[in-house]
Structure 1
Amino acid sequence: MKSCMTKNLEYINGNKENRIHDEKKNFDNENDNNESIINPDYGDLYILGRIWIDVLKTALVGENLKLIPVVEAAKKTPADLLGSPKRPPPMKYTDLSLYECPHYEYKDYVESTEKCPDANVKLLHRYLLPHIKTYRKKAADCAGEIRSKVKQQCASTCATIRDAKKQFKDNMRDSNNLPIRQAVVAVSGVAGFFLGGGGGIPKRLFFTTLGFLTGGSLCFPKETDEVFRNVTYCAGKKFLEMYNMLCGTGVVLREKLPCKEDMPPPPPVRKPIVCPPKK
């Protein structure tokens, strides 16, 4: 009897504890709801705002309109899914299948790739070619400018040297500078005499003559040319006379013809004589 009463008391006490625990839990839930209403969470505000924006957009512009454009990837074709066909190995006609033509498929694939102008262009080549063209054009322009400047400088230098040479010749051939011209010819002969020293009389004679000819061609070109021609003609004539005497031949030089400048001027043109008319 006591055991039954004890069990009943324990059961009643357990029910009371469960009831008290449930009441506390309900009270805590009510407090949480009140706090959430007083202090709403930011996540709830975002959800409410998002729902309000979607409803407003649907009501104004419709459901299919997208404010932000979306770019979708291109759909792959069956050829892309299968991949580019590989070159089939050589086969015998007995090994070929009846319903498949790998060689023709590969041939069609090669022809389709050749139709594209950029099929055989490498990616690195396509990327570097514009930059290389730009730098090459700049280098060619710089080289052209440098070449033109060098040509202009060379032309100006040559013109300066040519003018200086012409001016020097004009000064050395001026009739007012006759003493200077004679002194230059004498100095040239003396310089040739000293340069030909140490080799005997023939060497001295040759270098002295060469010095006089050099100075004379610079200061007296016409007179030097006449002297050289006359001396050469006379020396050749004497040499042929000696050769004819020794060998008994009759080789002779033709007579020296005068130059056009040494020829007398042509006579003046006479007026034609008009015959009297016949009677």
Structure 2
Amino acid sequence: MLRKVVLGSVGVATLIPVVGAATPIKDDPPNPQKPPLMKPSDLPIYETPHADYVEKLKSKGKSDEVGYVRSMLLAPVRVVREQVQIIVDHTDRAKHSIQDQYTELQDKTGWIFKYLREEDNKQVRYGAVAMGGLTGFIFGLRGGIIRRVFYASATTTAMGYVCFPEETKDIMKSNSALAKQYVNIAYNFLYGDYITKDEVDEHSVPAP
């Protein structure tokens, strides 16, 4: 804005710029005010207060609808998120607990294996093998004598492999060789081609 100023008696006119205070920006009221009724002659040419009022009412109605839907969905969504977070926390705790128990079991099992294989604990190792055979015999009580012998032999062999791994391997090898000899003898006896025990190792069972 320029202001015309006359200096002195000479009457020299000059233009001095004048800075006015800025008009504060007014926020839209929460509830739009309905414009008063006007006569057709009083209606402004470049403004449409009634149309603006209708538009504000429409926009406010839409925002209220969105806010209502948001408020209705917020509570169930929050509950679902909390429940999911609780399940995830429980799952993590259970996972860590299982891992800790598994690690502890591995440590205990490794310690037991190491203890049972020490040379100074032969009496304990013999007792463990005997207990293994007795356990298998008890498991086979409901069956016949063959089942009892089978269960007792299996559990005795398993405990023997734990306590005496090398000795058990040697026994298994010798028993396999002995079983092979008796199978050859039985086969030759059934088919009439009998050979002596010393000749068993030189013969093998022919393929059927």
Structure-2-length-normalised TM-score:
0.53
| Distance change in 2, residues 1:147/1:198 (3 Å) | closer
State yes or no: 1:187 paired with 2:148: no
Contact 1:193 1:204 in 2 (8 A): yes
Closer/same/farther in 2, CA of residues 200 and 157 from structure 1, 3 Å limit: closer
Match among 149, 154, 174 for residue 230 of structure 1: 174
Match of residue 118 from structure 2: 174
Does the alignment pair 1:134 with 2:78? Answer: yes
Percent of pairs identical after alignment?
Answer: 21
Taking structure 1 as reference, are residues 76 and 241 closer, same or farther at Cα in structure 2, changes over 3 Å only? farther
2:181 and 2:82 mapped to 1: Cα distance?
70
Amino acid at match of 2:205: V
Is the 1:193–1:208 contact (alpha carbons within 8 Å) kept by the matching residues of 2?
yes
Residue equivalent to 1:252: 205
Give the deviation of 1:132 after TM superposition.
3.1
The structure with the largest strand share of the pair is: 2
User: Does the Cα contact within 8 Å between 1:193 and 1:205 map onto a contact in 2?
Assistant: yes
CA distance 1:128–1:180, shift in 2 (3 Å): same
What CA distance in whole angstroms lies between the structure 1 residues aligned with 2:152 and 2:92?
47
CA shift in 2, pair 1:128/1:225, >3 Å: farther
Alignment counterpart, residue 33 of structure 2, candidates 62, 68, 72: 72
Larger radius of gyration: 1
Aligned to 1:146: 90
Counterpart secondary structure, 2:205 = coil
The alpha-carbon deviation at position 156 of structure 1 amounts to: 0.7
Q: Distance in 2 between matches of 1:125 and 1:240?
A: 88
**Does the Cα contact within 8 Å between 1:216 and 1:224 map onto a contact in 2?**
yes
| Contact 1:191 1:208 (8 Å CA) reproduced | yes
Structure 1 stretches of 5 or more lacking a match? Answer: 1-68, 81-117, 254-279
SS in 2 for 1:239: helix
Higher RCO (C-alpha 8 Å, min separation 6)? 2
Report the counterpart of residue 108 of structure 2 in structure 1. 164
Checking the alignment, whether the CA contact within 8 Å between 2:135 and 2:155 is kept in structure 1 is yes
Q: Deviations over 1:54-105 (max 9, x none)?
A: xxxxxxxxxxxxxxx783248459x99xxxxxxxxxxxxxxxxxxxxxxxxx
User: Does residue 217 of the first structure (1) align with residue 178 of the second (2)?
Assistant: no
1:105-149 CA-partner distances (Å, limit 9, x unpaired): xxxxxxxxxxxxx8xx98864332233333333332222222111
Displacement of 1:204: 4.3
What TM-score comes out, normalization by structure 1 length?
0.41
Contact between 1:244 and 1:251, CA under 8 Å: does it hold in 2? no
Contact kept, 8 Å, 1:237 with 1:252, in 2: the verdict is: no
Question: What is residue 199 of structure 2 aligned with on the other side?
Answer: none
Name the CA distance, whole Å, in 1 between partners of 2:84 and 2:138.
Answer: 56
Count of aligned positions: 145
Specify the code of the residue in structure 2 equivalent to 1:229. K
CA RMSD of aligned residues (A): 3.7
Structure 2 runs not aligned, ≥5 long: 1-28, 35-48, 56-61, 194-202
Q: How do residues 13-32 of structure 1 correspond to structure 2 at under 5 angstroms?
A: none
Equivalents in 1 of 2:93, 2:144: separation in Å?
A: 53
